[in-house]
Structure 1
């Protein structure tokens, strides 16, 4: 009788433990994404990213082996193609939501447990969830009105893929780097901040609107508000602004000498004083590590007497921390002919 009772007890305990395990495996968490949507996410083993910012965070969190599909821009990301060339090449391309070439058929065939899109693609997110029954989470580093940049994307994605501690570790590391710069630049009066013009990679008469890094670095960003990442401006407006510093987007063709040789640009203060720099900025969205690298670079450009660190060394350390790759910034610097700072 005692043996029978003992066996029944063991069986009940086993059933309870099995139930707990099954519940744990099937339990879902609720996420409020950056478009304000509430999404239920279950266990994530298969991921599709349709937004390069999310893709970069997924690689930084170390879950790249769970990525079963990517958008076309993620596959071409200049940073990821240098950090993870083989892995990136092996992941199927499902087209681009940003460029209107997304294939929902390919997406469905991959049977993902979760899909990441940018916040502007809220309608697409709802459509995928309703038609395919796949949780879709909207994320983005930037907000447009007013311009803001945050690392909330890291926290949200970390929670979705079960990497909350790693996400916290990365976010705190990047924020400490920014806080070190802010501790100095936040004390600089507005009247003493240099005026900075950040040109589009495709058109010198187009200014990048979401230049929050410049403000953090202690500059006064010359821009106009528009519902896009860049806005056209006349040369007359640029001349009126008369920037102290000009930053050229290194994904474009323009070099400092192009401005120095142009009779119109020669009249601008930054050109007269040779304060033109070619810097790597975002490619279809931002990279969290590169955002911090830009702040460090710009702070040293604007205030060389206040910041004495080696930009290349700092940048390589940041990318190593995020992606585990040595000398990544050095390679980018050479490939894109970045300015010495």
Structure 2
């Protein structure tokens, strides 16, 4: 009898022990512990200047040095986890990411102008990571890291306007740092699908049907007159439009105005960031514009400003669809440019903001005529 009691007690203990082991709550605790362990693993990132940056865990508190990191970050994670920005974010102007995410204006501004310059403010935010850009070398980022007391990741927007591997690398690094790697891949895949779509629509256009065009008044560190343009202009390249500018120089170039008459492009696209300045140019010398065949033939169009606090990739892509639709309407017959623009903004920044941009830029995408200039349609409005 005594032996039976001992056996019964041992069996009962075994049942209890086994039950504890199989208890769903215990399993949940074990899984939670595993998740914590996984998300707490050190993250190693090779940033845009080749620095090896280590984060002890997925970042929960993020500071963005200037509009480039803010823009790229917004494509990946909106404003979530952001605890510090540059004072530039206090005014939305015509940056789509800022218009779509007005919360940027309520986040702590850490001193300076377009860039954060008050590193004491950054320290007070206790960030897990600081995203920065536009420094000369790795040493500059190392110095910032010493001052802000957290890992600093250098980002690079790339040398091309769109579809640049450097841009993609920066998007992936943001995703890795904040645990949004799947979203980063979605964004890169989306941009690559856009690139392929633009190419496929225009790749088979016969050589003798390729349109010639000129982009004037392109913004770069402010607005420019009709002579402000680019030699390497990806918005034309992406849709098989020939740029008449005969230089391969990167970035903004100022051409002789008489060269534009000599080149005589079929189409002219004017950046709305500079349209008021070009209106003033017309008022001073209307005869010049009247010599341009694009104006004579009503083939002058306005595009949204895509360089504003550096490149707004979403707007550049939207402008490219506008260029394609204008020059090759049959190839883009199924595209409503405004709908497409809002689709691009919706995917990248979370909201279609074309109407807001158009309201700030004399109506957005449009044809421009000599009569528009004669009527002073584009005189700058004093606010």
Please give the TM-score of this superposition, normalised by the length of structure 2. Answer: 0.74
1:40 pairs with 2:54: yes
Distance 1:54 1:101 in 2: 11
Determine the structure 1 residue equivalent to 2:214. Answer: 196
Residue 156 of structure 1 corresponds to: 173
The correspondence of residues 134-145 of structure 1 with structure 2, limited to 5 A, is 134-143=150-159
Map Cα deviations across residues 108-147 of structure 1 (whole Å, 9 max, x no partner).
Answer: 2222111112244544322112344422222233226x99
Q: 1:56 to 1:289 in 2, by over 3 A?
A: same
Counterpart in the other structure of 1:333: 358
Contact kept? 2:53, 2:153, Cα under 8 Å = yes
- Other-structure match for 1:321: 347
Q: Distance in 2 between matches of 1:272 and 1:129?
A: 57
Alignment size in residue pairs: 333
Q: 2:238 aligned with 1:216, yes or no?
A: yes
Q: 1:149-201 deviations in whole A, cap 9, x for unaligned?
A: 34503222212211111122232223222311110223346673413224234
What is the CA distance between 1:18 and its match in structure 2? Answer: 8.8
Classify 1:118/1:277 alpha carbon distance in 2 versus 1 (closer, same or farther; 3 Å): farther
C-alpha distance in structure 2 between counterparts of 1:71 and 1:210, whole Å? 31
The equivalent of 2:142 in structure 1 is 126
Find the partner of 1:30 among 35, 44, 53. Answer: 44
Q: Which has the larger radius of gyration?
A: 2
Structure 1 unaligned residues grouped into runs of 5+? none
Q: Deviations 1:84-130 (Å, cap 9, x if unpaired)? A: 22x12211222457x56622222222221111122445443221123
CA contact (8 A) 1:208 1:223 kept: no
Native 8 Å contact 1:34 1:139 kept in 2: yes
- 1:294 aligns with 319
Secondary structure (helix, strand or coil) at the match of 2:269 reads: strand
> 2 CA distance for matches of 1:72 and 1:54?
14
CA distance in 2, matches of 1:38, 1:155: 15
The more displaced of 42-51 and 21-30 is 21-30
Instruction: Please give the alpha-carbon distance, in whole angstroms, between the structure 2 residues aligned to 1:28 and 1:35.
Output: 20
Structure 1 length as normaliser, TM-score?
0.82
Name the residue aligned to 1:181.
198
Deviates more, 1:110-119 or 1:231-240: 231-240
For residues 13-92 of structure 1, what are the structure 2 equivalents within 5 Å?
Answer: 23-41=37-55, 42-77=57-92, 78=94, 79-85=96-102, 87-92=103-108
The CA RMSD measured in Å over matched residues stands at 3.4
Q: Is the 8 A contact 1:75 1:81 kept in 2?
A: no
Seen in structure 2, the aligned counterparts of structure 1 residues 173 and 24 have a Cα distance that, compared at 3 Å, is same
Please say if 1:248 is aligned against 2:270.
yes
User: SS at the partner of 1:263?
Assistant: helix
- SS class of match (1:195): strand
Contact 2:218 2:273 in 1 (8 A): no
Aligned-pair CA distance for 1:289: 2.3
Classify the secondary structure of the residue corresponding to 1:301.
helix
Indicate the residue corresponding to 1:284 in structure 2. Answer: 309
